[in-house]
Structure 1
Amino acid sequence: MRQNAHDAIRTQVMWNRLISVVEEQAQSLLRTAFGAVAREAGDLSAGVYDLNGAMLAQAVTGTPGHVNTMANAVVHFLERYPVETLKPGDVLVSNDPWMGTGHLFDFVVVTPAFYNGKAIGLFASTCHVIDVGGVGFSADATSIYEEGTLVPHMYLRREGQLNEDLLSVILANTRNPVEVRGDLMSLISANDTGVNRLVEMMEEFQIDGLDDLAAHILETSKAATQKAIREVPDGVYHYDLPLDGYESPITIKTELRVEGDQITIDLSGSSPASNYGINSPRTYSQAYVVFGLKAVIAPDVPNNAGSLGCFDLISEPGTCVDPVSPSPVTARHVIGQMLPDAVFGCLAQALPNRVQAESAGSIWVLAMASAHGHALPSELKDTSRFNVMNVAIGGIGGRPGKDGLNAMAFPSGVGSIPVEITESQCPLWFKRKRILRDSGGKGKYRGGHGQVIEVANREAAPFTISAATFDRLNNAAAGREGGEPGALGKAYLGTGPALKGKGIHLVPAGDSLVVELPGGGGFGHPDVKEQKNGD
C-alpha cells in the first residue's frame, strides 16, 4: 500500500475514533444527568475543541441550539482563561446567555485535556437544568435580572478541587438544588470521560497532539461545504416569517445572499426585542440559522468550525433576534427555533422542490408547578409543592418525496419526557396524550400531525402552567410548492375557556390543561390519488 493511502486511512480512522470519544462524552452526561429534560429529552450537547477554541467534533446526541452555540462559547472562556494558565483538573463554567447558549438555564462547562503534561485540547458540554431561581422557566420576566442567577466565567473545579463556594450560591438560588447539583456534577464527569478517552486515543495512535488531525478535519469540512454552496444559484432571496409574539406580533425578516462559495443571512429589520423573555440572543439565532442552511445545503458534512465558518450572519442589535443585555431571554426558543423556517423560505426560492414545508417549529415547554403564590393559602392547605417540566411537540413539514413526521421536534431534536417520569415527580397526571389526526397540512406529501395532551391534578388543588410559551396559535406552518398550511395550535382549560399563548395560567382545582400542538405544512399540490392519510 502506498504511504499516502495508508496515511489517509489512518487519518479517517482517527477521525472516526474522535467521534466515538465525544459520543461517549455525551452518553456519560445523558446517563448520569439528574434533571428529566436532560436525562430523558436529551437537551444537551458535547464536543471537543482545539487549543484555539475551534470545534473539531460534536456528539450525535444533542441539539443544534446547544452544539452550534458552543462552537462560539469556548472562545469566550479562552479570552478570560488562556490555555497556558490552565492546569490538569481545572474546569470552567458559565451560563451567560450572550456568551453561552442563549439563556440562564444552560450551564456550559469547559475542561482542558492534557497529555504528557501538555495541553492538547478542550472538552465542552452543556445541558438544561430545571431551575436557576428568579421567576422560573417563564417568559414573564422583563429583564435578565429577574430570570435567575447569572454565573460569569469562573472556575467550577481548580486542580481537582470543587469550587464549593460557587456551588453554594447556585444551589441557594434554585428551587431544585438536588437536581441542579447533580446536573453540574454530570457535566464535569462527562468532560472527564472525554479527556480520558482522548488520552487513550493518543496512546493508541502514538501521537502527541491534535494539530495535524484538526487541520485535516477543518480544511476538509470547509472545502466540502464550499463545494455544496457553489451548487446553490447566486442571488439575493427574501422571506418574511410572521410569529405570534407576546405583547404584539413579530416578523422575522430574512435576506439570503449567495455569492460563490459563501452564504450570508441578514436578519436586519426583524421586529424589535420584546419586553418579555422570548428574545433570541445572537449566539442562539446564529446556531439555528446555520443549522437551517446546513440541513438543506450540506447535511452530510460534519458540523465543526470548518463547515460553520462558511456561513455569515448579519443581525441588528436591539431586535428580537439580537437582543442586548439586560433584555429577558429565558424562552429564547420561541423565536430561535423558528429561524430554520425563515431560512427555508429563502432557500425554497433558490432551490425549488428541494426544501420541506414549514413545521410547528418551537417546542411547547410545559413548565408546571404548584399554585403557591398564585392561589389563596386556603386552596393549597396540605397540598404538595412541585416544579416540573415536560415537553409538547408538534408536526414537521412535508418533505420532497415524504410526509412530514408526526409529533417530532424539529429543529431542536429534543425527545419527549415520558409521562410516567413527570407523574412520579408530582401529583399531576396525564389524562391523554395522542396524535392529533388531520392536523398536518394537506399536500402531495402531507405535513406531520401534532398531538393533543391533557394534564390534571390528582390533588384537589389548582396548579399553574408557568411557562406558556406557545406559538403558531395565530400563524400556521405554511405549506410549500402548493401544499396547504398545518392546523393552528390551541391551548385551553378542560372546561372550555381558551388560554393565551404566552404568560402564566392558573388551572383551577378539578379542571385540566389541554394543549393541541400545531401540524406541519403540506408539500406539493394535494392529489387525491397520492394523498396519504395514515397517522
Structure 2
Amino acid sequence: MTDATFEIRMQVMWNRLISVVEEQAMTLLRTAFSTSVREAGDLSAGVFDPQGRMLAQAVTGTPGHVNTMAEAVLHFMAEIPRAEMFPGDTYVTNDPWKGTGHLHDITMVSPSFKGDELVGFFACTAHVVDVGGRGFGADGKSVYEEGIQIPIMKFAERGQVNRDLIRILRSNVREANQVVGDFFSLAACNDVGHRRLIAMMDEIGLPDLDGLGEFIFSRTRTATLERIAALPKGAWSNTLLTDGYDSPVKLAATVQIGADAINVDFTGTDPMSRHGINVPIIYTKAYACYALKCVVAPDIPNNWASLEAFTISSPVNILNAERPAPVSVRHVIGHMVPDLVLGALAQALPGQVLAEGAAALWNIHISARPVAGQDGRRAEILMFNSGGMGARPTLDGLNATAFPSGVMTMPIEATEQTGPIVVWRKELRPDSGGDGQYRGGLGQLIEIEPMPGHEFDFSAMFDRVGHAAKGRDGGGAGAAGIVALDDGTLLKPKGWQHVPAGRRLMLHLPGGGGYGDPAARTPEDRANDLSKSYVTEPRK
C-alpha cells in the first residue's frame, strides 16, 4: 500500500468513526425524554480507545460535556477493573468531580467488545430535568443538599439493568418517568454506537482500533503543535468580575504559552462560595481548553491529542472547588471562563479575539403548581435562553446565541407542553448590543406567566446583571441583564423566587460587547441596525 493510499484509507475510516458517534448522539436526541436534551442538545457523545483516550466526539453537544467526558472515562476505568468489564455492560455516574461538574448531568460509559476483545469505549452525557434535593439552583450549602449522588457503578451488567438503582432513582426525584427514561436513552445511544462500530470494523476488516487511533493522534498532535509553535511566547493575565450570588466574584487567569504547550493558571481567583456557584476543576478545564482551541486550533478535530497540549493549574478556589462544595449552578461561573481566558489571549494576539459576550446561559428552572384550593397541574420545567455574543474582529456579534455552551434554544411550543405556563414574548432586545465598528450581539426579552389558577417558583441562574459584557479595542459594553416582575419589582439574578398567579416574569437578557471604534462603523451598517430595530435611535 502506497503512502498516499494509506493516508486516504485512514482518513476515510476516521470520517466513518465520526459518523458513528454522530449517529450515537442522534439516537440520544431522538429518544430523550427531557426537553433540555431533545430540544436543546445539552449532551455529548464520543468514542474512546481501550486506554480511555478520546478518538472522536460528536459535533452535537456542548464543550462542557465533551471535554469533561474526555477525562471522565479515565475515572470509570480506575473504578471498574478490566476483569469486571463484560459485553453488555453500561456504567453510570453523576459525581460532579468525576463526571461533568454537577449532579444534573448523567454520564454513561459502555465498553465495546469485538468477540472477547475490548476494542474501546463509548461515552455520553446528558442533563436530566431533576435529581431531587433542592432542585436545580444555587441555594444549596453543600453538594449533599443538591440531589441524589450516584457513584461510578454499573447501570447494566451483561445486558441486565440494575433494577435496584432504578427503584432508588424513582424514590428520589420529582419527575421519575422523565429521569428514568433519559437513563435508558443514554444507555441506548452507547449501544447504537457500539453496534455501528463493530459493523464498520467487520466491513473494513479492522481487528482493533490501534492503528486508526495512532493515525488520529499523530496527525492531530502534529497539527496542534504546529499552531502553538507559531504563537508568541510569554505570559498574559486577565481578570473578570461576575455577579456571584450575593456579592461580586473575581476570576483571574494567566495564560502561559510555551514551545509545545499552553498552560492556564487560575491563581488570584476568589475563594469558594458558600452557594452553589462553585466549579469543579474538571469543568473549569473543559471550558478553558475550549477557549484556547477556539483561537489556536479551531479547525483541528477535538480528541485526546489536541487536548493534551493544554494544561490547567489552580489552587483551591471557586474555579477549583473541593468536595463537598455546592456546585449545582457550576455552569454560570464556568461559562465565564472562556471570556476570562480570551481576554488574556487578546493581549498576546491583538486583533484576533472577539469581545466579551453574555457568556452564561440564562437557564431557568420553573416549579409550577396550582394555587391552593384549585385543581391544576404540577410540573418541573427547564428553559435554556441565550444572550448576545461579543462582536468579532471583522463581524458583528451573533444575536441570542449560546456561546460558549453551544446548546440550542428550546422552542416555546415544546416548553409550554411540559407545564402550566405561557411564554407571552420571546424576541430580540433592542439596544442591547455594545456599539463599535462591529456591534455586539443582541440579548432577548422574555415574558413568562403561570397559567390561570397556577403560580410558580423559579430558580434564577443568571449573570451579567451587575457586570455587563465589555467591548474590545474601543468597543462599547453590552447592555446588562434585568430580572423583574411585570409590575416593576426587581428580582435577584440567582436563587429560588416566587411568581404569583396573574403576574409575569420579565427577563431582559444581556447583550455582547462591541468591537473597535464606534466611529468606524459604516453608515450602511448603522442604517441596517435601525431598519431591523436592532437599535431604536441613531447612534453617533
Both proteins in one fold, TM over 0.5: yes
Q: For the structure 1 residues 424 and 230, does the alpha-carbon distance in structure 2 shift closer, same or farther, using more than 3 Å as the test?
A: same
- Number of residues of Structure 1 aligned to a counterpart in Structure 2: 527
1:445 is matched with which residue? 438
* Mapped partners of 2:423, 2:84: distance in 1: 52
Deviation at 1:116, TM superposition (A): 2.4
- Distance in 1 (CA, whole Å) between partners of 2:297 and 2:522 is 33
The answer to whether the 8 Å contact 1:264/1:312 transfers is: yes
Cα distance in 2 between the residues matched to 1:519 and 1:247: 22
Distance 1:261 1:521 in 2: 32
Report the equivalent of 2:330.
332
**Matched residue SS, 1:352:** coil
| Correspondence for 2:456 | 463
Residue 344 (1) aligns with residue 342 (2): yes
Residue in structure 2 matched with residue 86 of structure 1 by the alignment: 85
Judged with a 3 Å threshold, the aligned counterparts in structure 2 of structure 1 residues 236 and 200 are, in CA distance, closer, same or farther, namely: same
**Higher mean C-alpha displacement, 215-224 vs 120-129:** 215-224
1:443, distance to aligned residue in structure 2 (A): 0.8
Report what 1:218 is aligned to.
Answer: 217
Among residues 496, 511, 522, which one is paired with 2:514 in the alignment? 522
Matches within 5 A, 1:371-390: 379=372, 381-390=374-383
Deviation string 1:380-402 (CA, Å, 9 cap, x unpaired) is 53232111111121000000211
Tell me the SS of whatever aligns to 2:426: strand
- CA separation in 2, counterparts of 1:88 and 1:336? 36
Alignment match of 2:395 (pick from 402, 406, 412): 402
**Alpha-carbon shift at residue 165 of structure 1 (Å):** 0.3
Segments of structure 1 that go 5 or more residues without pairing to the other structure are 373-377
**Counterpart in the other structure of 1:227:** 226
Deviation sequence 1:253-300 (CA, Å, 0-9, x none): 110111112111000120111111111110000000000000011001
After superposition, give the CA deviation of every residue in 1:72-103 in whole Å (9 maximum; x if it has no partner): 00000101112343110011101000000000
Amino acid at match of 1:406: N
Q: CA deviation at 1:493?
A: 0.2
TM-score (normalised: structure 2): 0.96
2:466 alignment counterpart: 474
Any conservation in 2 of the 1:282–1:322 contact (CA below 8 Å)? yes
For 1:127-179, what per-residue CA distance to the aligned partner results, in whole angstroms no more than 9, with x for missing partners? 00000000001110010000000000101000010000011111211100111
SS at structure 1 position matched to 2:333 = helix
How many angstroms apart in 2 are the aligned matches of 1:131 and 1:261? 43
Question: 2:2, 2:509 → 1: CA distance?
Answer: 57
SS in 1 for 2:384: strand
* Contact kept? 1:371, 1:506, Cα under 8 Å: no
1-side partners of 2:130 and 2:521: how far apart?
Answer: 49
1:498 and 2:496 aligned: no
Match of 2:359 among 358, 361, 378: 361
In 2, Cα distance between equivalents of 1:101 and 1:115: 29
Alignment partners' CA distance in 1, 2:211 and 2:84: 23
Q: 2:501 aligns with which of 494, 509, 527?
A: 509
- Whichever residue aligns with residue 460 of structure 1, its letter is G
The one-letter amino acid paired with 1:411 is P
In structure 2, the partner of 1:485 is: 477
- Equivalents in 2 of 1:207, 1:392: separation in Å? 44
Q: Cα RMSD between the aligned structures?
A: 1.2
In 2: Cα distance, 1:529 partner to 1:47 partner:
44
State the distance in 1 between where 2:106 and 2:476 align. 40
Shift of 1:509: 1.5
Once the two structures are superposed, residues 352-375 of structure 1 have per-residue CA deviations (whole angstroms, 9 ceiling, x without a partner) of 000000010010111111258xxx
TM-superposed CA distance for 1:528, in Å, is 4.2
CA distance in 2, matches of 1:204, 1:445: 51
User: 1:51, 1:83 within 8 Å by CA — same for their partners in 2?
Assistant: no
1: distance between equivalents of 2:428 and 2:325?
Answer: 36
What are the ranges of 5 or more consecutive residues in structure 2 without an aligned counterpart? 535-540
- 1:413 pairs with 2:394: no
* Letter aligned with residue 472 of structure 2: R
2:245 alignment partner AA: Y
Residue 49 of structure 1 contacts residue 121 of structure 1 at CA under 8 Å; is this kept in 2? yes
Q: Structure 1: which amino acid aligns with 2:199?
A: E
Any conservation in 2 of the 1:134–1:147 contact (CA below 8 Å)? Answer: yes
CA distance in 2, matches of 1:144, 1:404: 36
> Within 1, Cα distance between the matches of 2:116 and 2:183?
26
Compute the displacement of 1:420 (Å). 0.9
SS state at 1:196 partner = helix
Indicate conservation of the 8 Å contact 2:465/2:482, yes or no: yes
Name the counterpart of 1:293.
292
Residues 1:172 and 2:164 are matched in the alignment: no
CA distance in structure 1 between the aligned counterparts of 2:170 and 2:54, rounded to whole angstroms: 30
SS state at 1:503 partner? strand
* Whole-Å separation in 1 of the counterparts to 2:314 and 2:521: 43
Alignment of 1:127-166 (within 5 A): 127-166=126-165
Identity of aligned residues (%): 48
Match of 1:30 in 2: 29
2: CA distance, partners of 1:109 / 1:210: 21
In structure 2, C-alpha distance between the alignment counterparts of 1:371 and 1:384, rounded to whole Å: 6
Q: Pick from 426, 433, 443: which aligns with 1:433? A: 426
The aligned amino acid for 1:475 is: H
Equivalent in the alignment of 2:190? 191
What is the distance in 1 between the residues matched to 2:21 and 2:174? Answer: 31
- For 1:385, the aligned partner's letter is R
User: Does structure 2 retain, via aligned residues, the 8 Å contact 1:380–1:461?
Assistant: no
What whole-Å deviation, never above 9, does each CA across 1:194-244 have from its counterpart, x for those lacking one?
000000110111010001111111121111111111121001101001100
Q: Which residue of 2 aligns with 1:375?
A: none
Given that residues 398 and 520 in structure 1 are in contact (C-alpha distance below 8 angstroms), is that contact kept between their aligned partners in structure 2?
yes
Q: Is the 8 A contact 2:438 2:521 kept in 1?
A: no
Match for residue 53 of structure 1? 52
The answer on whether the counterparts of 1:102 and 1:281 sit within 8 Å (CA) in structure 2 is yes
Distance 2:82 2:123 in 1: 14
Deviation string, structure 1 residues 13-60 (Cα, Å, up to 9, x no partner): 000000000000000001100000000000000000011111110000
